[in-house]
């Protein structure tokens, strides 16, 4: 074999090796690409599966609006003796001074509602006191303070709108004024179980829920 033929043969062999190497490199690139695609498909599939599981509610964290916790039910034990004695005077107009009445109720929270039979706003909120005094009849004592009113009118009013607590007759409104009221009708005063006055609300409550919120905050301290 001539030298020229040998060189041609070597050149053809070199070219063949280069082609083979390039073909192998292309196959390697294709395999890497396929592997990457397969991995992506697995990740996407897993994500979709998680979302489907979450959407179905299994272990899902719901995104609905936060709902306030339900109020605890009143205790079912015996009614405190102070409240029992107060309830025994339900719907009565009494002459006991408010200071003496509060002293007798020391040990339980107290809500005092200043009202009058001639007061339309008092009449509007009275159903709220009827409801809440029943709801909290084992926890809170309620007392009415019938201020600048006619006794006969007050008695008639309570026959139409009975409540499970008495009302102190305060003809001159001096007793109401001594508690921080007496400037407007109605006015509501709150006392904790130690007898300390915690809040004075002037004006009528527009809803039972707002009254209840103040009972819980200023009388019960919760």
Per-residue pLDDT tens digits for 162-192: 999 999 999 999 999 999 998 999 999 999 9
**pLDDT, greater one: 205 or 76:** 205
Same domain, 61 and 148: no
In this model, does residue 204 exceed pLDDT 70? Answer: yes
Same domain, 92 and 156: yes
Full-prediction pTM beyond 0.85?
no
Query: What is the Cα–Cα distance from 94 to 167, expressed in whole angstroms?
Result: 6
Query: What is the Cα–Cα distance from 35 to 31, expressed in whole angstroms?
Result: 6
Query: Could you tell me the CATH number of the domain that includes residue 134?
Result: 3.40.30.10
Q: Choose among 153, 122, 160, 136: nearest CA to 86.
A: 136
Domain assignment of residue 161, yes or no: yes
Which residues form the domain of 155? 82-219
End residue of a domain, out of 67, 101, 116? 67
Query: What is the Cα–Cα distance from 6 to 45, expressed in whole angstroms?
Result: 59
Q: Can you say whether residue 148 is alpha, beta or left, with left for phi > 0 and alpha for psi between -120 and 50 degrees?
A: left
In this model, does residue 48 exceed pLDDT 50? Answer: no
Same domain, 97 and 142: yes
Q: What is the mean pLDDT of residues 57-62?
A: 36
């Amino acid at each position: 074999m001539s030298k020229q033929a040998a060189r041609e043969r070597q050149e053809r062999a070199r070219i063949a090796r280069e082609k083979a190497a390039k073909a192998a490199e292309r196959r390697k690139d294709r395999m890497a690409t396929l592997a990457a695609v397969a991995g992506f498909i697995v990740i996407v599939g897993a994500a979709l599966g998680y979302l489907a599981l979450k959407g179905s509610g299994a272990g899902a964290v719901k995104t609905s609006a936060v709902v306030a916790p339900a109020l605890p039910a009143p205790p079912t034990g015996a009614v405190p003796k102070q409240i029992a004695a107060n309830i025994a005077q339900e719907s009565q107009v009494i002459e006991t001074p408010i200071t003496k009445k509060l002293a007798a109720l020391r040990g339980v929270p107290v809500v005092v509602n200043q009202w009058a039979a001639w007061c339309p706003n008092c009449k509007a909120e009275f159903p709220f006191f009827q409801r809440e005094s029943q709801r909290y009849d084992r926890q809170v004592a309620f007392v009415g303070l019938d201020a600048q009113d006619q006794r006969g009118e007050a008695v008639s009013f309570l026959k139409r709108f009975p409540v499970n607590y008495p009302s102190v007759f305060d003809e001159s409104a001096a007793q109401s004024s001594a508690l921080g009221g007496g400037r407007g009708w109605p006015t509501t005063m709150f006392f904790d179980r130690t007898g300390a006055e915690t809040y004075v609300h002037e004006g009528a409550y527009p809803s039972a829920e707002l009254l209840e919120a103040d009972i819980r905050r200023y009388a019960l301290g919760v």
